[in-house]
């Protein structure tokens, strides 16, 4: 591979899901990930599952990062959760504003991810390495690309060590974002988030929700395959491997794979990159 990789999982909701994820993790550990992160549901709705999965990964001898969102959170509750994560041996956090659960008022004592980052730093010093999110194609709720960039700068100035991007399929958007970050004098690694393409319906739904752009040529090819899942997966492997090659050649410091708790596509992309 020649660049470090990290892997993202979500907390499974059923015993079957947990067993499948353990199998997927065992396969993916052959890639020697730098760390594995575990997502956190809207308003902390999956907190127990998140921390449980983080604990399993640590017990398997792999560094684990917990996602940590601040929507609806109080300082007292956040302090308590940070103490628990320290006790577990977690050394890395992915600090996010997070999404509001449906039907949920605003609430909470933190308005932005930068507030959460500043609080974690004030409470724990340098005990945690803090990653934050960034959006090469702009956060869907940002007023403008410049406002989005300034929001990212606020997170870095609050104490973030690095950033992981929303997924994208246009390498130019990543490189342009990295250049803009550099122009602001923000000296942090910006790691591209990689989403393998294995299911076109799912991809369209995710992308609609998070504002990630699917280039027209990719969208049309996927639509052309209809329900032919073998062709979708084969095409997806070619597209994403090529994207990773461009990112690596352009100097991306690492790659973060959104695995969706599956192992096959990520393993194959990394195999091709190592060939």
Rounded Cα distance, 85 and 92, in Å: 9
Instruction: Of 116, 117, 152, give the one whose Cα is nearest residue 133.
Output: 152
Q: Looking at the chain, list the stretches that DSSP marks H as alpha helix, in order from N- to C-terminal side.
A: 15-28, 47-59, 75-88, 113-124, 145-157, 171-183, 200-210, 216-225, 229-249, 264-274
Q: Which of 8, 34, 131, 137 is catalytic?
A: 8
CB 8 within 8 A of CB 16: no
**Unique residue bearing structure tokens 């870095």:** 156
Integer CA distances (angstroms), 231 to 166, 226, 228, in order: 25, 9, 6
Instruction: Of 162, 169, 151, give the one whose Cα is nearest residue 218.
Output: 169
Instruction: Of 26, 88, 80, 24, give the one whose Cα is nearest residue 51.
Output: 88
- In the structure encoding, which two tokens stand for residue 30, read together? 């052959």
Identify whether 8 is a catalytic site residue. Answer: yes
Rounded Cα distance, 206 and 241, in Å: 20
- In the structure encoding, which two tokens stand for residue 155, read together? 């997170």
Integer CA distances (angstroms), 34 to 4, 91, 195, 253, in order: 6, 12, 18, 12
**Unique residue bearing structure tokens 């690095």:** 162
Provide the annotated active-site residues. Answer: 8
């Amino acid at each position: 591979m020649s660049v470090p990789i990290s892997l993202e999982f979500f907390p499974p909701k059923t015993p079957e899901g947990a067993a499948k994820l353990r199998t997927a993790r065992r396969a993916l550990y052959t890639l020697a990930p730098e760390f594995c992160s575990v997502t956190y549901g809207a308003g902390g709705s999956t907190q127990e599952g998140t921390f449980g999965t983080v604990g399993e990964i640590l017990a398997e001898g792999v560094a684990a990062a917990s996602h940590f969102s601040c929507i609806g959170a109080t300082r007292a509750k956040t302090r308590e959760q940070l103490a628990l994560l320290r006790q577990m041996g977690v050394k890395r956090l992915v600090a996010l504003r997070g999404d509001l659960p449906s039907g949920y008022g605003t609430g909470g004592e933190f308005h932005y991810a930068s507030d959460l980052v500043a609080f974690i730093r004030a409470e724990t010093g340098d005990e945690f390495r803090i990653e934050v999110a960034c959006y090469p194609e702009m956060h869907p709720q940002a007023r403008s690309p410049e406002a989005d960039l300034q929001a990212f700068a606020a997170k870095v100035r609050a104490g973030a060590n690095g950033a992981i991007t929303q997924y994208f399929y246009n390498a130019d958007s990543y490189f342009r974002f990295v250049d803009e970050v550099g122009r602001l004098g923000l000296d942090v690694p910006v790691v591209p988030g990689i989403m393998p393409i294995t299911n076109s319906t799912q991809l369209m739904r995710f992308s609609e929700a998070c504002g990630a752009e699917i280039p027209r040529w990719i969208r049309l090819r996927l639509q052309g395959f209809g329900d032919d899942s073998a062709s979708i997966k084969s095409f997806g492997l070619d597209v994403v491997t090529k994207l990773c090659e461009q990112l690596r050649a352009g100097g991306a410091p690492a790659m973060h794979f959104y695995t969706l708790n599956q192992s096959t596509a990520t393993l194959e992309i990394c195999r091709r990159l190592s060939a």
